[in-house]
């Protein structure tokens, strides 16, 4: 009986009005309204153990069309459970404070319309959880320490070795325009939350930090571009080559920064500057060469070319190769072209021709240098 009473207290319900499908607003027009359940994950680091099974509280609200998730959370906190904890500030999708998982996909609560979520998932119940890849502190609030550490690691400020001008540090309009996309980042952590690479490699800098790194590598006022590229290209720093191209960051970014596109730009910059003597860069080239030649990946040479002249690396690959052999998964040693391979090769050649003509992107002499690999 006591447990039932507690459960009843934790489930806040509105009484369903007689006309639940349409409620008139001040103008007299009908506004859709319906009962929606919010299943919210609860946690308190001061009381709960991190290995405890997550617990959830359910709240039911009468929600009008156009109402945001943040509005609903405010209603729950103000009228039903004052202990519910989450971050919020501007309510205009500018500050990036209210990131949280909505049905397993991270969003900003202030720009997420509840009715649209229920229509997308064909359910009137919405699951609300804290952001991923970060430790929960209380309810929907997470510790973003690792996120900020990754951002700090890419040195997100202009480094200028010359004499600073007396007034403004002026850029040309076309130079500033190159920074528009990455400068729009509001540091909400949404992309970091849904990054699949961070699930397996906690030291990965993450999409937000790497996108911000490009912002300074592309800034015409910065004089440490080569050092930035070297640092981001170094495998031990867990930078550009730890990204797995899952596109999750592109899908969830509320400001359309497209972090993956910025990561690929840094990779191109590094390779164009001669920084190709690491497993990530070699893998990239081997993958591309195989598809260009035959229209599909050469699974025999790809691992060997990725490792390079590295005896330890070859020994590490040996067990995988043996398992593939005994399981009958070893690919054909002869890499035969597929039907239409010549058309694929033409596409490659056309793209390479276009890239060479696009000098504004990759031909800045102060950004790149061809270096001796022995000094890498």
Answer whether 157's CB lies under 8 Å from 151's CB. Answer: no
Second-level CATH architecture of 144-272: Orthogonal Bundle (1.10)
131 DSSP 8-state letter: P
Residue from 47, 39, 41 nearest 11 by CA? 39
pLDDT for the residue numbered 372: 34
> With left for phi above 0 and alpha for psi between -120 and 50, is residue 245 left, alpha or beta?
left
pLDDT for the residue numbered 330: 83
pLDDT for the residue numbered 109: 98
pLDDT for the residue numbered 5: 46
Residue from 213, 56, 189, 59 nearest 132 by CA? 189
Helices (H) and strands (E) in the chain, counts: 17, 8
pLDDT single digits (tens) 228-274:
999 999 999 999 999 999 999 999 999 999 999 999 999 999 988 88
The number of beta carbons lying within 10 Å of the beta carbon of residue 115 is 17
pLDDT single digits (tens) 97-148:
999 999 999 999 999 999 999 999 999 999 999 999 999 999 999 999 999 9
pTM listed for this prediction: 0.81
328 class by beta-carbon count within 10 Å (0-12 exposed, 13-18 middle, 19+ buried): exposed
Superfamily holding 2-141: Beta-grasp domain (3.10.20.30)
Along the 376 residues of the chain, how does pLDDT read in single tens digits?
445 444 444 544 444 444 345 555 544 456 789 999 999 999 998 888 877 788 999 999 999 999 999 999 999 999 999 999 999 999 988 999 999 999 999 999 999 999 999 999 999 999 999 999 999 999 999 999 999 999 999 999 999 988 888 888 888 889 999 899 899 999 999 999 999 999 999 999 999 999 999 999 999 999 999 999 999 999 999 999 999 999 999 999 999 999 999 999 999 999 888 888 888 889 888 888 899 989 998 888 888 888 887 787 778 888 888 888 888 888 888 888 999 999 999 999 888 888 776 644 444 333 333 333 333 3
Show me where the domains of the chain are located.
Answer: 2-141, 144-272, 279-362
14 class by beta-carbon count within 10 Å (0-12 exposed, 13-18 middle, 19+ buried): middle
Determine the Cα–Cα distance for residues 197 and 189; give it in Å rounded to an integer. Answer: 15
């Amino acid at each position: 009986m006591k447990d039932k009473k507690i459960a009843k207290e934790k489930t806040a319900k509105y009484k369903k009005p007689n006309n639940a499908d349409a409620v008139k607003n001040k103008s007299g027009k009908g506004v859709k309204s319906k009962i929606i359940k919010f299943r919210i994950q609860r946690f308190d680091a001061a009381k709960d153990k991190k290995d405890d099974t997550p617990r959830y509280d359910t709240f039911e609200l009468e929600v009008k069309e156009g109402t945001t998730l943040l509005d609903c959370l405010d209603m729950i906190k103000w009228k039903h459970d004052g202990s519910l904890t989450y971050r919020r500030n501007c309510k205009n999708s500018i500050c990036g404070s209210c990131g949280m998982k909505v049905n397993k996909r991270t969003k900003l609560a202030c720009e997420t319309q509840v009715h649209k979520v229920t229509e997308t998932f064909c359910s009137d119940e919405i699951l609300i959880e804290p952001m991923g890849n970060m430790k929960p502190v209380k309810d929907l609030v997470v510790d973003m320490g690792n996120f900020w550490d990754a951002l700090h690691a890419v040195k997100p400020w202009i480094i200028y070795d010359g004499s600073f001008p007396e007034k403004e540090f002026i850029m040309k309009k076309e130079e500033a325009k190159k920074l528009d996309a990455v400068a729009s980042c509001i540091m909400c952590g949404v992309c970091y939350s849904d990054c699949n690479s961070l699930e397996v490699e906690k030291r990965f800098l993450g999409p937000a930090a790497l996108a911000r790194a490009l912002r300074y590598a592309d800034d015409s006022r910065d004089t440490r571009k080569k050092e930035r590229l070297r640092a981001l290209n170094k495998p031990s720093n867990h930078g550009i080559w730890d990204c797995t191209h899952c596109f999750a960051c592109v899908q969830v970014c509320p400001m359309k920064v497209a972090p993956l596109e910025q990561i690929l730009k840094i990779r191109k910059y590094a390779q164009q500057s001669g920084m190709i003597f690491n497993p990530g860069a070699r893998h990239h080239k081997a993958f591309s060469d195989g598809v260009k030649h035959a229209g599909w990946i050469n699974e025999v040479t790809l691992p060997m070319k990725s490792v390079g002249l590295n005896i330890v690396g070859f020994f590490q690959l040996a067990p995988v190769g043996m398992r593939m052999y005994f399981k009958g998964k070893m690919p054909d040693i002869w890499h035969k072209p597929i039907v239409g391979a010549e058309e694929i090769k033409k596409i490659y050649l056309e793209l390479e021709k276009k890239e060479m003509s696009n000098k504004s992107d990759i031909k800045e002499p102060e950004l790149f240098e061809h270096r001796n690999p022995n000094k890498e």
